[in-house]
Each structure stands twice: as C-alpha cells, then as structure tokens.
Structure 1
C-alpha cells in the first residue's frame, strides 16, 4: 500500500464541505480535521475509481468536547456513531466522480451502520478516526472506521458502514 500523503486542498475542501453541510449536530460535524490520506486512485475506464485489495484510507483528528459527551464526561455512543457515519461518508465523497458515487446522491445512502464500543473516550481526548474504503462498486460500498487515541492507539470504537448509490442524473 502506498504511503499516506497530507490531504490536498481539493480533498480537504470536499471532506470538510461534506461534513459542514450536515444540519444535524453542527458542532459535531465541524470537529473532525482531515490529516492524511492514501493517494486518490485515478479514474478508471468505467468513470469510477478502483480501490485496491487493501482499501483506501484517510485519517482525521477530532478533539472530544463537552457537547459530544454523556453525563459521565465520555464521548457519547451516539456521537461516536455519528462521527463514524459522516466521516466515512465524507471520505467516500473524496473518491466520487461525476458518474460514480457523485451528485445528486453524493456518497450514497446508508444501508447498515454497526458500531462496537471498546473503551470510554474522555472529554479533551485527541482521537484519530481512520477510515478505510474497503470497496466501492457500481452500487454498493463497504467502509470501516476506527476511533483510537491519537497518541497511544487505544481503541475507543470501530464501525462498519455499508452504503448504496445509484446514478440518478437521468431521473432529474
């Protein structure tokens, strides 16, 4: 797998633009910061992007704030699930092209989101959210996200995200 590179301006703008458009819990969606990503695969003959056998990765940082926490002062499970959902979706939007996971269904819609919680993530923690796009086919995508401590690697939560996409341009 190639070495990861810093998010370039266009990819960071795409990811942050996607996250900032989500009207639900705006402070939660403004918290993730794009850090590094694998190089973006070239457009293939079908107009999409081919993700290799090890997937395509992107890494975001997020600092856990009080408004993300439960009464015990730890990241709320719903906030963790929301971060996994929207940040993995933002990562898939980076790989979109006009006719492949693009507008008007940019990054598709969720079919399933499964989150497993391992440890409490206290307020003030700088966490790493590593997203792996395992597969992006013509209509189905499989994404995985791991929320860990930025310094120690301690695992807080992991999620799998299955999405579907359909080219709706002809129906508009």
Structure 2
C-alpha cells in the first residue's frame, strides 16, 4: 500500500461530503493508505488484482456517533462502512465505468457483523477491500477495528450495482 495520493484523497472526501445526512459523521474519515489505482483496460474500466483493491481510513469515534452507553451506535457503524466503501469505489470510477450520474452505484445488500463495543474517543481503522468490480456489480468489504490493537468492532459485506444511464434502455 501507498499513502493516499492528493487526487485520490480529494475524490474520496468529495464523495463523503456529498452525503446530505449525518455531515459530522461523514467528515470524520481520514484517508491514510491505498493500493495503487489500477490502470484503465481496453473497455475503459479497471481490472483488479486477484486479492482485490484496498484502502485504509482512520476515524476518531466521537460522542455524536455513540449510543447512550458511549459506544459506537450500530447505525453509525453501518453508515460509515457503507459510505466509506463508496468513497473508495469512487477512486476507481471512470467516465464510462461506475461514474456519473450514478456514481458508485446503488447498494443491493449490506450485511454487518458486530463483534465488540467501540467506545467514544477510539481511533479506529476502517479498512476497505473492493473484492470484485465488474461492469454492473461490485463486491466490497469494510472492517472497522482499533487502530492500535487491531481489535475488531464491525465488519460489513456489501454488494452494489451500477448502470450507465446514458446507454440504458428505459
């Protein structure tokens, strides 16, 4: 992995800023590391390595992300995984491949497993892996863990779909 390039970090953060709800939550992730962005293929998309494509963000868990027990709320964790997965996918988008107007597509499934409580003030690591990126389906995984110890808090598996609306038959 390499440090986020300024261009990739801007792309990811711009997507997070586009989300209209929970603005403080979406301002929290900080891009840290990423795999190099795969080159364009002949069809204008990107071919991933067999192990996928990965990126890492840091997130400080704040009070407004927590439940009354001062632990990360499950809904906040789900939102972080969903939107940070999408921000990572945006870095691989091109004009003709997972791009506008349906940038990063639409979530079909988001399956979460909660392992341990995550207290307010924790510096967490959100590791995203894009496991498969095809012409219309994408499989992603997000794992939220303690930055220092690696203790796992939440993992999420997500399937997204995308369609080139300019070429779609309505």
> TM range, normalised to the smaller chain?
over 0.9
Alpha-carbon distance in 2 for matches of 1:154, 1:30: 23
Unmatched 5+ residue regions in structure 1? none
List, as ranges, runs of 4+ consecutive aligned residues in structure 1 with deviation greater than 6 Å.
none
Alpha-carbon distance in 1 for matches of 2:31, 2:166: 29
Which residue of 2 is the match for residue 50 of structure 1? 47
Alpha-carbon distance in 2 for matches of 1:89, 1:51: 16
Alpha-carbon distance in 2 for matches of 1:144, 1:154: 17
Aligned length: 169
Structure 2 residue matching 1:71: 3-state secondary structure: coil
Alpha-carbon distance in 1 for matches of 2:14, 2:134: 24
2:111 maps to which of 111, 114, 134: 114
TM-score (norm: length of structure 1):
0.97
Q: CA deviation at 1:170?
A: 3.7
Structure 2 residue matching 1:60: 3-state secondary structure: strand
Alpha-carbon distance in 2 for matches of 1:61, 1:31: 8
1:34 aligns with 2:28: no
TM-score (norm: length of structure 2):
0.98
1:13-92 pair list within 5 angstroms: 13-92=10-89
Unmatched 5+ residue regions in structure 2? none
